[in-house]
Structure 1
Amino acid sequence: MRIIIAGAGEVGFHLAKLLTMEGHNITVIDIDGDSLRNISNHLDLEVLNGSSTSISTLTQAGIEKADLLIGVTNSEDVNLTTCIIGKHLGAKKTVARIFNIEFLNSREKLDLCNLGIDELISPASLAAREIKRLCKESALTDFIDFDKGKLSLIGIKVEQDSQVAGKTMEETAYLNPNRDFIPVAILRNNETIIPKKDTRFQVNDHAYFTANNVGLNRVLEIFNKSRIEIKNLMILGGSSVGYHAAKALSKKYRVKLIEPDRERCLKLADMLPDTLIINADGRSVDVLEQENLSEMDAFIAVTDNSETNIITSLVAKNHNVAKTIALVENIDYIHLSQSIGVDTLINKKLIAANFIFRYIRKGEILSLTSLHGADVEVLEYEVTPNSKIKGARLADLKFPKASLVGGVVRNEKGYIPTLDFEFQERDHVVILAKMESINKIERFFK
């Protein structure tokens, strides 16, 4: 595909990185020469210094032959205008990053497709959706379910009392006699490991497993973790992410939101009738304690200050809050969550870039999810009548070394496949893979 990206910031950079690994023809446009030099020094693509709303700049970038135009600058107006102009100049599809949620709520009324905008991306609403997903299980650092829970991917920390600590996968096989779960990735000191039978679990590793319903409970038992039902949530920060998170979570949980700006609190109180809004400075430990922090099941810090979010999440952990999630601006911070004590650090720019990447691949992959802090993607494919994998045994397939088949959903039941497992049409196959392996994996499903 020929893809033009308007914006060389963090979203544009990460998106370009994902797409260049796929072998797409990428051109990045930006008015900031330094940002373009940075992206050009790290990635093999074309850059163009200029405004993406300029007809001459878009023409120079080859807009008339573009399969996709993506506007991800820091200006909503620029992104929308870029897509409208680009579509009329010949771009087949356009995607715009927005900040005002009203555009999402009124997309049909505004008939944005007719204007030239095919898809809108709101980093704040996507981050809120991710927070909602992460709150499903308090004992786990990550949780993804497939086919309505028939199969799950879970993340959990290896602690001293874990039965697997210090043992290899082969040595712990006795803990899983019915093969109800399988280790699929280990995050250790910022390195992502696709485990083999001689891979040894170490204390402080973050281990990821795929499991069926029985296996999920078994993994929790092995790691001495108990499932605590989340009922009470505290959100620190009434930002756009805080608002969307509260709106989504208050339908299921008792939510308390703390925001220091009084005017913002009044607005939030009108918009969030099911959320308790507290006008206070949540950076104060005394304030958090007065608002019964220790009685919370989850703490979500989404202020505009990354350091505040991290520190208050650590305070929450110190008050025995089961689940902590902190929003950070710097993508480089994401790996820290595994070592500093916060359950999960999220970055809305990274989430937005990954969403756009999934949008591009729509139709080829049923789902694609990133594990926060790990250099691995979780992909779900369906075996079609023409798939090369159909009728083949797992042992006979030469999947890339940087990948692993984590599970299969067949006829409403989750399976952890053995080497003798034979793939059938309509199977949903869950695969863990490093980004460079995705192209090779796709060939098995075409």
Structure 2
Amino acid sequence: MKVVIVGAGKLGLKVANVLLGGDNDVTIIDTNEEILQKISSQMDVMTLNANAKEIKTLKNINISSYDFLITTTGNDELNIVIASFAKSLGCNKVIARVRDPEHMQQINFIKDVMDIDHIVNPDLAITVEIYKYLAEKYTLSNGIFSSGKASLIEFSVDKFKELIDLPIYKVPEFLPNMLIVAISRNGKVIIPRGDTVIKNDDAVYVIGEKGPIMTLNEKVHERGKYNDLQKVMIIGGGKTGFYLAKMLSEFGAAVKIIEKSKDRCRYLSSHLDNVMILHGDATDLNLLEEENLDLMDAVVTATGFDEDNLLLALTAKRHGIEDVIAKVSRASYGEIISSMGIDVALSPLDITTSNIIRYVQGTKKVLSSQLIQGQAEIIEIIASHHMKILNKPLKELHLPEGVIIAAIHRGPDVIIPHGDTKILEDDKVIMLSLLSDISSTETLLKDDGGKGFFKKTFG
């Protein structure tokens, strides 16, 4: 499949890396020649130093021969215009990155008039995941993923104490015909192996047949400290803070935003109803204490600086806040986050990349997908005869560290796999992959002839 990416920033490069995992033909267009030279030396992509807004640029690359154009620059208007031009010139599908809330208010009109197939918004995407985490935690939904006869739930192991200090390979003694597919530990989602030991403060994700899973759900899910999510403090009034405050306010929570830009505070005050806007520097502990930090049910740190978000999240956690969520862009902070006790740390980059990739894959093979705490993705695919994962014991597939086969639908049966289980043609396979390893999933699904998942879907 041929894909052109406009913009050589973090998002563009992340998407390109994932697509390359499936042996797709990727072209990156950017106006910065120095960056493109660096990319050419590190990645197997075509690069073009040009302005994609110019029609001649799109014509020169024969844009009508491309399956997808993805605009990822930091300019909404530029992304919209380039995507629209490309579609008019015959590109099969176009995707545009759009972040401005005012654009999002009229997004359907923009998509229709400009003929754009799909819009991605990193700020809105991470907001949805934060909202889902908080709303689902307090409304206690039955199962966070369900497909056919299989269902997945999440719970803290203090609700099932037999699991504490237990290695994964011994879990079937207590949870027969079920599988722990992921563990949330200190704000980080990990894929367990057989010798992984479950720790006291872990939350686990368990998959199995719906009947036993729902019975387990009744045992481990009791209402906690609050009947409703009542008080939330959001630190940072940028786009993420704006979207989240709006959603949580409509959910019924009392929301308070702390923002240090006076101009931004004025904007928030005029665009948000029933949200308290405070002008101040949240790194000032006195301010946080004056604003009753200790009384909050949840704190979300969403400033534009990872370091501030981590520091503020740690401060909130040390004040005994039940749920602390940090917006963090740098993957290199992963190990630090794991040791800090933060409940959830989300990356807009990983979430948006997943959004784009799932749209590119389409629906011919991917039956469904859902994010887990914004850090991992559970997907259901149909195993086709092209895939090299067929007819081999799972233990011989050498699965990447961040990928696990969670369950297999075969006819009327749900199979909880083990090392000797084989995937057969037409099986519905439920997989879980860390977003940081999403390219590994694509590589895993290559066929024996070298074609990637995308080429099988669209080729």
State the TM-score, normalized to the length of structure 1: 0.79
Alignment partner, residue 283 of structure 1: 283
Question: Residue 210 of structure 1: which of 194, 206, 209 is its match?
Answer: 206
Give SS of 2:47's match.
Answer: strand
Answer whether contact 1:368 1:378 (CA < 8 A) is retained: yes
Give SS of 2:86's match.
Answer: helix
Q: Report whether the alignment pairs 1:360 with 2:351.
A: no
Alignment partner, residue 118 of structure 1: 117
Alignment partner, residue 201 of structure 1: 197
Alignment partner, residue 340 of structure 1: 340
Give SS of 1:26's match.
Answer: strand
Answer whether contact 2:188 2:337 (CA < 8 A) is retained: no
Residues 189 and 299 of structure 1, relative CA distance in 2, 3 Å threshold:
closer
Answer whether contact 1:394 1:418 (CA < 8 A) is retained: no
In 2, distance between residues paired with 1:326 and 1:12? 23
Q: After superposition, give the CA deviation of every residue in 1:327-368 in whole Å (9 maximum; x if it has no partner).
A: 124343345422222222222233222211111122131333
* 5+ long unaligned stretches in structure 1: none
In 2, distance between residues paired with 1:319 and 1:12? 38
Q: Which deviates more from structure 2 when the two are superposed, residues 184-193 or residues 26-35?
A: 184-193
In 1, distance between residues paired with 2:374 and 2:146? 24
Residues 152 and 234 of structure 1, relative CA distance in 2, 3 Å threshold:
farther
Give SS of 1:342's match.
Answer: coil
Alignment partner, residue 261 of structure 1: 261
Query: Shift of the alpha carbon at 1:246?
Result: 0.9
Give SS of 1:340's match.
Answer: coil
Residues 287 and 204 of structure 1, relative CA distance in 2, 3 Å threshold:
same
Answer whether contact 1:9 1:35 (CA < 8 A) is retained: no
Paired residue type of 2:25? N
Query: Shift of the alpha carbon at 1:261?
Result: 3.1
Residues 245 and 193 of structure 1, relative CA distance in 2, 3 Å threshold:
closer
Q: Which deviates more from structure 2 when the two are superposed, residues 201-210 or residues 329-338?
A: 201-210
Q: Report whether the alignment pairs 1:312 with 2:346.
A: no
Alignment RMSD: 4.3
Give SS of 1:213's match.
Answer: helix
Query: Shift of the alpha carbon at 1:87?
Result: 1.9
Query: Shift of the alpha carbon at 1:126?
Result: 1.3
Residues 399 and 312 of structure 1, relative CA distance in 2, 3 Å threshold:
same
Alignment partner, residue 401 of structure 1: 399
Alignment partner, residue 432 of structure 1: 432
Give SS of 1:129's match.
Answer: helix
In 1, distance between residues paired with 2:136 and 2:250? 17
Alignment partner, residue 234 of structure 1: 233
Paired residue type of 1:9? G
Alignment partner, residue 145 of structure 2: 146
Query: Shift of the alpha carbon at 1:53?
Result: 1.4
Answer whether contact 2:245 2:275 (CA < 8 A) is retained: yes
In 2, distance between residues paired with 1:206 and 1:46? 44
Alignment partner, residue 8 of structure 1: 8
In 2, distance between residues paired with 1:388 and 1:205? 42
Alignment partner, residue 330 of structure 2: 330
Paired residue type of 1:33? E
Give SS of 2:315's match.
Answer: helix
Answer whether contact 2:324 2:344 (CA < 8 A) is retained: yes
In 2, distance between residues paired with 1:144 and 1:127? 21
Answer whether contact 2:408 2:430 (CA < 8 A) is retained: yes
Give SS of 2:246's match.
Answer: helix
Alignment partner, residue 248 of structure 1: 247
Paired residue type of 1:117? I
Give SS of 1:94's match.
Answer: strand
Answer whether contact 2:172 2:179 (CA < 8 A) is retained: no
Paired residue type of 1:94? V
Residues 438 and 175 of structure 1, relative CA distance in 2, 3 Å threshold:
same
In 1, distance between residues paired with 2:304 and 2:29? 27
State the TM-score, normalized to the length of structure 2: 0.77
Answer whether contact 2:127 2:244 (CA < 8 A) is retained: yes
In 2, distance between residues paired with 1:216 and 1:40? 51
Answer whether contact 1:294 1:321 (CA < 8 A) is retained: yes
Query: Shift of the alpha carbon at 1:26?
Result: 0.4
Answer whether contact 1:232 1:295 (CA < 8 A) is retained: yes
Residues 200 and 347 of structure 1, relative CA distance in 2, 3 Å threshold:
closer
Paired residue type of 2:369? L
Count of residues paired in the alignment: 428
Query: Shift of the alpha carbon at 1:310?
Result: 1.1
Paired residue type of 1:261? S
Q: Which deviates more from structure 2 when the two are superposed, residues 314-323 or residues 420-429?
A: 420-429
Percent of residue pairs identical: 26
Residues 29 and 282 of structure 1, relative CA distance in 2, 3 Å threshold:
same
